[in-house]
Amino acid sequence: MAGVFDMVYQQSLVDPECFWRDAAAAIDWSKSWDSILDSSNSPFNKWFSGAECNTCHNAVDRHVEAGRGDQTAIIYDSPITGKKRKISYTELQDKVARCAGALRQLGVEKGDRVIIYMPMVPQTAVAMLACARLGAIHSVVFGGFAPNELATRVTDAKPKAIVAASCGIEPGRIIDYMPIVDEALSLSPHHVPNVIVLQREESLAELKSGRDHDWKAVMEAAEGVDCVPVKATDPLYILYTSGTTGEPKGVVRDNGGHMVALKWSMKNIYNTEPGEVYWAASDVGWVVGHSYIVYAPLLHGCTTVLFEGKPVGTPDAGVFWRVISEHNVSTLFTAPTAFRAIKREDPNGALLNDYDIGSLRTLFLAGERLDPDTLNWAEEHLKVPVIDHWWQTESGWPIAANCPGIEALPIKPGSPTRAVPGYNVQVLDPSGKEVERGEMGAICIQLPMPPSCLPTLWNADERFVESYMSDYPGYYESGDAGYMDEDGYIFVMARTDDIINVAGHRLSTGAMEEVLADHPDVAECAVIGVEDTLKGQLPLGFLVLNAGVSKGGDTISSEVVKMVRERIGPVAAFKSAVVVDRLPKTRSGKILRGTMASIADSKEYKQPATIDDPAILPEIEAVLKTIGYAGK
Ligand code: COA
Ligand code: AMP
């Protein structure tokens, strides 16, 4: 007999318009839609076409009007600075309305872009919601990126203003943001006339007269403004994510579909009620932060925790338990790497004895493959269900998950369970046919995708089609490979492109290769992802040097490490590159990166039939052994 989950899932696929119309009733619309799903120009599908709404109204004002004004909307807990603060929905409404007023004073209106380059402080959420209030499109840039990456985003998004902080704080060091902003603006041909700067007392920035405006001063001077109705299909934000080249992809998120899917997910996937405390321990610079630190918990009337710290070292591996017990967290969401870090420091979970984490109902993990060891450790020590779920920047919410709000299904380690209602996930062979259950293939989603999934890439409709829709017509290609078992459980095993996943962060090895290739002494290069017990994967570079180079290999290796840090940023975690005589290739000249990665990880591999010179593989293995990889 079909269970409740099966019934809900079937309804979502048989009649998606009916399914999402029901879900849309949980959102306030200022004008109703003409059509729920307009697929007349597929793959550019539009949800709730013709409708008008405002995301900030639904996330903030609506709750104040409904009597939730005194409830805490945001808990800021910053072990790195020792600060804590609670902001009620009423206070949040006031701050957001005034921030929107300040942006408007600087000429920002509906449809304009605003780049937000800020750390994990409540003002970041205020700035995002202020843009939403005006109908302006925000693009948040993660603090661990270098000026060059910020410049690329400025050039593509062409913002009218930037909202930045004077600094971010990492354990043991302060990162001054304004020199990064200055350099990015000097690198970009796009002129940004106004920058609002939040001065943090840990390091004050020198403001540039005529361009920079002090956050506190503009907030005090500004008048609050009301929510501006936007089309459901208008962009709410652009979030850049790694593509296969150095050019990041600007994933666009709409207003209406995004709200409907996120609000629906809070009860049905996360099983969370309005008024509860929800904590996504991620960073607002990533999609998890957009969706589950800011928008979804607020749309649902929850209290969200904004945590400025690390799972270990701020001050110790008990900080997650301290935050859960102190703030009564009922749902925690983070990446497996955070739990691997905690487990490494406190293998027996001794620090859990210092806190009462009885409020915690469920732990959700995503961002990378959840290894069975981490799953078992978390289940054993937290004594709550641990749910692996799979999604991407492109979807904005889970594609596969156990949905305890509908019906908790049995957990199979290694699988994020089944496709979430709304997603028709299929595993395809290269000809586009569904493979047998248990067989590996490309994980794809049949069109139309549910609300919130990217309608396109910013200024790049062609790239959108070419990147996701061209290899498997009628489907969205996720870029992940894996299989589905007899029960419909999905197993996500690897990327099909050159994306690697470092500490839950998505990075392009292609972008790193572009940097390495720029070194004057490097003739050829390759970057692969090697397995790492803490971060899941780490990038490793291979360099073939030009003939007659006088510098030592070690010197060149450290120079390219420095170049990647300067051009992409510390978040790339690119710490090693080795010099080799030659790279293994196919006869047509394609570098065998996958084979090199298998050798590095001591995995069995088949020598490709098309290999040009098999003698190179033992050479690579020998070099890898000298740095502690291969042959384990
Ligand atoms: N601003 C500036 N620099 C940053 C940064 C930021 N916002 N975030 C990270 N960095 C820097 C780090 O300081 C580090 O620099 P270093 O090379 O000088 O040490 C580098 O970027 C790599 O950072 P990270 O990969 O985070 O490694 P880490 O060693 O600092 O921490 C973990 C390891 C596992 C504790 C950390 O990655 C973590 O908490 N992960 C949680 C997962 C997560 O939030 N994923 C997001 C998707 S859900
Ligand atoms: P991002 O767009 O940064 O969220 O990264 C998305 C990618 O992270 C996916 O395409 C997967 O490769 C990987 N990923 C995310 N969640 C999971 C998961 N639960 N299991 C395996 N891989 C995951």
For ligand 1, what atom is nearest to the CA of residue 282? 44
Q: What is the mean pLDDT of residues 88-97?
A: 98
Long-range contacts of 233-236 (CB under 8 A, 24+ apart): 233/46, 233/47, 233/48, 233/49, 233/257, 233/455, 234/110, 234/111, 234/135, 235/137, 235/458, 236/55, 236/132, 236/137, 236/138
Q: Cα of 327 to ligand 2 centre, how many Å?
A: 28
Per-residue pLDDT of 275-289, as tens digits, reads 999 999 999 999 999
- CATH code, 574: 3.30.300.30
Q: 179 versus 606: which is more confidently predicted?
A: 179
Residue 582 scores a pLDDT above 80 = yes
Ligand closest to 282 (CA) is 1
For ligand 2, what atom is nearest to the CA of residue 393? 2
Name the amino acid, one letter, at 12.
S
Q: What is the mean pLDDT of residues 138-162?
A: 96
Q: Are 172 and 162 in contact (CB under 8 A)?
A: no
Instruction: Determine, yes or no, domain membership for 525.
Output: yes
Instruction: Determine, yes or no, domain membership for 539.
Output: yes
**Cβ atoms within 10 A of the Cβ of 473, count?**
9
Which residue, by CA, sits nearest to atom 5 of ligand 2?
Answer: 392
Give me the helix-helix angle, 177-187 and 147-157, nearest 10°.
Answer: 50
Residue 404 scores a pLDDT above 60 = yes
Q: Chain-wide mean pLDDT for the chain?
A: 96
Instruction: Determine, yes or no, domain membership for 448.
Output: no
Nearest to 370 by CA among 411, 329, 405, 422: 411
For ligand 2, what atom is nearest to the CA of residue 288? 4
Which residue, by CA, sits nearest to atom 15 of ligand 2?
Answer: 367
Above pLDDT 90, what percent of the chain? 96
DSSP string, 286-308: SHHHIIIIIIHHHHTT-EEEEE-
Instruction: Determine, yes or no, domain membership for 517.
Output: yes
Domain that holds residue 522: 503-626
Q: Are 97 and 70 in contact (CB under 8 A)?
A: no
Running DSSP on this structure, what letter comes out for residue 459?
Answer: T
pLDDT confidence band for 212 (50 / 70 / 90): very high
Pocket test for ligand 1, best of 169, 170, 173, 323 (most atoms within 8 A of CB): 170
Task: Give me the residues paired with residue 611 across strands.
Answer: 586
Q: Are 532 and 526 in contact (CB under 8 A)?
A: no
Q: Is the CB of 335 under 6 A from ligand 1?
A: yes
Above pLDDT 70, what percent of the chain? 100
Q: Is the CB of 556 under 6 A from ligand 1?
A: no
Instruction: Determine, yes or no, domain membership for 91.
Output: no
Q: Cα of 372 to ligand 2 centre, how many Å?
A: 16
46-49 and 35-38 beta bridge pairing? antiparallel
Q: Are 116 and 124 in contact (CB under 8 A)?
A: yes
Q: Is the CB of 416 under 6 A from ligand 2?
A: yes
Q: What is the mean pLDDT of residues 512-534?
A: 96
Running DSSP on this structure, what letter comes out for residue 611?
Answer: B
Dig out the tokens for 21 from the structure.
């119309």
Q: Which residues contact 431 (CB under 8 A, 6 or more apart)?
A: none
Q: What's the pLDDT score for residue 527?
A: 97
Q: What is the mean pLDDT of residues 96-113?
A: 98
Q: What's the pLDDT score for residue 606?
A: 85
83-88 and 72-78 beta bridge pairing? antiparallel
Which residue, by CA, sits nearest to atom 17 of ligand 1?
Answer: 570
Question: What sign for the dihedral angle of Cα 136, 304, 392, 78?
Answer: positive
Which residue, by CA, sits nearest to atom 8 of ligand 1?
Answer: 144
Q: Which residues contact 462 (CB under 8 A, 6 or more apart)?
A: none
Residue position matching structure tokens 């859990």:
352
Instruction: Determine, yes or no, domain membership for 604.
Output: yes
Per-residue pLDDT of 154-209, as tens digits, reads 999 999 999 999 999 999 999 999 999 999 999 999 999 999 999 999 999 999 99
Q: What is the mean pLDDT of residues 605-626?
A: 92
Q: What's the pLDDT score for residue 1?
A: 55
Name the amino acid, one letter, at 620.
I
Q: Cα torsion for 452, 458, 462, 463, to the nearest 10°?
A: -90
Residue 238 scores a pLDDT above 60 = yes
Q: Is the CB of 492 under 6 A from ligand 2?
A: yes
Q: In angstroms, how far is CA 167 from the centroid of its own chain?
A: 21
Question: What sign for the dihedral angle of Cα 57, 58, 64, 66?
Answer: positive
Ligand closest to 336 (CA) is 1
Q: Are 271 and 362 in contact (CB under 8 A)?
A: yes
For ligand 2, what atom is nearest to the CA of residue 287? 4
Instruction: Determine, yes or no, domain membership for 582.
Output: yes
Residue position matching structure tokens 């469920």:
362
Pocket test for ligand 1, best of 167, 571, 574 (most atoms within 8 A of CB): 571
Query: At 286, phi and psi to the nearest 5?
Result: -105, 170
Q: What is the mean pLDDT of residues 59-64?
A: 98
Q: Cα of 581 to ligand 1 centre, how many Å?
A: 33
CA-angle at 20, arms to 140 and 299, nearest 5°: 40
pLDDT confidence band for 8 (50 / 70 / 90): very high
Ligand closest to 312 (CA) is 1
Residue 631 scores a pLDDT above 80 = no
Structural domain tally of the chain? 1
Q: Are 542 and 599 in contact (CB under 8 A)?
A: no
Instruction: Determine, yes or no, domain membership for 483.
Output: no
Pocket test for ligand 2, best of 291, 333, 391 (most atoms within 8 A of CB): 391
DSSP string, 353-369: GGS--TT--EEEE-SS-
Q: Is the CB of 144 under 6 A from ligand 2?
A: no
Q: What's the pLDDT score for residue 605?
A: 86
Query: At 106, phi and psi to the nearest 5?
Result: -90, 10
Residue 380 scores a pLDDT above 60 = yes
